[in-house]
Amino acid sequence: MKKQATAALLALFSLLSVSCGGGTTDPVTTTGGNDSATTPETTANLYSDLPTGDYGGSDFNIFNTTMGWAYSALDAEEQTGSALDDAVYNRTRKVEEKLQIKVNVTEMDVFSGIPEYVKNIIMAGDDSFDAYYMSAYLTGPMIVENLFVDLYSVDELNFDKPWWDIRTRKYYEVDGKLYMAHGSGQINYFDMLWGIYFNKQMVEDLSLESPYDLVNSGKWTMDAMKKLGMAVSSDVNGDGEMTEDDRFGLITISGGSSLAFLHGCDERGIDIESGKLALSKIDDRMFGVMTIIKQNIYENKNEVLIKDDKTLFASGHSLFSAEVLGNAKGLRSMDTDFGIIPFPKYDEAQENYVSYISYGAIALSLPTSLSAEKLSRSATVMENFNALSYETVLPAYYTITLYGKTLRDEESADMLDIMFANCECEDAVVFGFDGYQNTITDVLCQGKEITSTLEAKRASVEEKIDELYEAMD
């Protein structure tokens, strides 16, 4: 699997960089068998124009969000032998040495009242934090309050470089401005990618069609998933009820997974039209997508168990589990082999598989409370922080932690390439927009009528979108 992992890493680097036009790297092509990947040469030239400075050993204070289900560390107290932790530790020490700073990280749990805490600090003009790493859905609603700097306006940040993620950036842009961004410095957003895990042994024992083959043939659809779920689901204990003691086609939670299914079918609550955020139209396709998600997943009590219990899939109680990538680490002790595939398409006519990045993904923001001098310093540090992470932390995550310790087969590596190649966010969650994300999940998960429920929110959501753009003027 090492060869496959290496090819996948090259493909990932290509995705991160080729999409960022204007970079300084020269593309090269590597070919193995029928596979090919284009990747930038990792040369000194890539890092030759990094901003630099000598800040005399001064403190550099970073606010960081933490969560239990995804990797979110920005530093470590010492080297432990863990490839990823040690890469993070060494990255931070290199930045300290290069720029003569002392990095200090203050951490708060994602559910511990971060918005009010951060808001009070910045609005008071307090510059005690030089950079903020927060979940996108926490930062988004705060943008209208002039708390964060437009990152595009900061000279020291070079978004043509491959350590800044272009795939998510378009979902955070407002009126040509950017107030939060994902980069290699905080790899949490990779762990927040939703995928479908499947029990390989169950596929073999029941002579089911391979999910890998379905994906590769373009036939991995909502109907295909339901068909496999029907073949697997069984009242194992014979009590006439489907409970967690039985076997299901799918185990998942509501909320986040419903948005992942929606995006998998190439629909979303908030769309981007001509570069501007806009409420998605409830046309025939959207109605059809929402209907099939409701019927096949959240109303399907015979084949789907809605329960937040990671042990049920591991113990063989379902064929599929819909989860974020970070939770795959909890399956390392699973006796039965499992595979990872993208969320299903709506139908075979849909061109691409689309993968959803959870709104909990942690992004960088810089506060407006910084003076021009301190802002320049913060941007210099963060540019180097992300650049050195791209060189060391990202490979440690991707090749060692993910491919080396989490995945069980080469096919999963191919699937992750597909997933990372076409992933996106949901702006209804990122910016709040009068709780429209809850309206969407109410429709999909709680049985609310589709058109009337969504249309009832249209006026208030469009008003919130207008307010966001007005705040940018």
When the pLDDT of each residue in the chain is averaged and rounded to a whole number, the result is: 90
Per-residue pLDDT tens over the stretch 396-448:
998 877 877 778 788 998 999 999 999 999 999 999 999 999 999 999 999 99
Architecture of the domain made up of 194-356+433-472: 3-Layer(aba) Sandwich (3.40)
CA atoms within 13 A on the CB side of 350: 23
Is the pLDDT at 52 greater than 50? The verdict is: yes
pLDDT band for 12, please (50, 70, 90 cuts). Answer: low
pLDDT band for 24, please (50, 70, 90 cuts). Answer: very low
Per-residue pLDDT tens over the stretch 192-205:
999 999 999 999 99
**pLDDT confidence of residue 473:** 77
**pLDDT confidence of residue 21:** 31
Rounded mean pLDDT, 292-305: 96
- Give the separation between CA 257 and CA 356, rounded to whole angstroms: 9
Domain locations in the chain as residue ranges? 2-36+49-191+358-423, 194-356+433-472
- Give the separation between CA 59 and CA 130, rounded to whole angstroms: 9
DSSP assigned state of 332: T
HEC assignment per residue over 66-112: ECCCCCCCCCCCCCCCCHHHHHHHHHHHHHHHHHCEEEEEEEEECCC
Rounded mean pLDDT, 362-366: 98
**pLDDT confidence of residue 404:** 72
Class of domain 2-36+49-191+358-423: alpha beta
Topology agreement, domain 2-36+49-191+358-423 and domain 194-356+433-472: yes
Is the pLDDT at 10 greater than 70? The verdict is: no
Rounded mean pLDDT, 130-135: 98
Is the pLDDT at 40 greater than 50? The verdict is: no
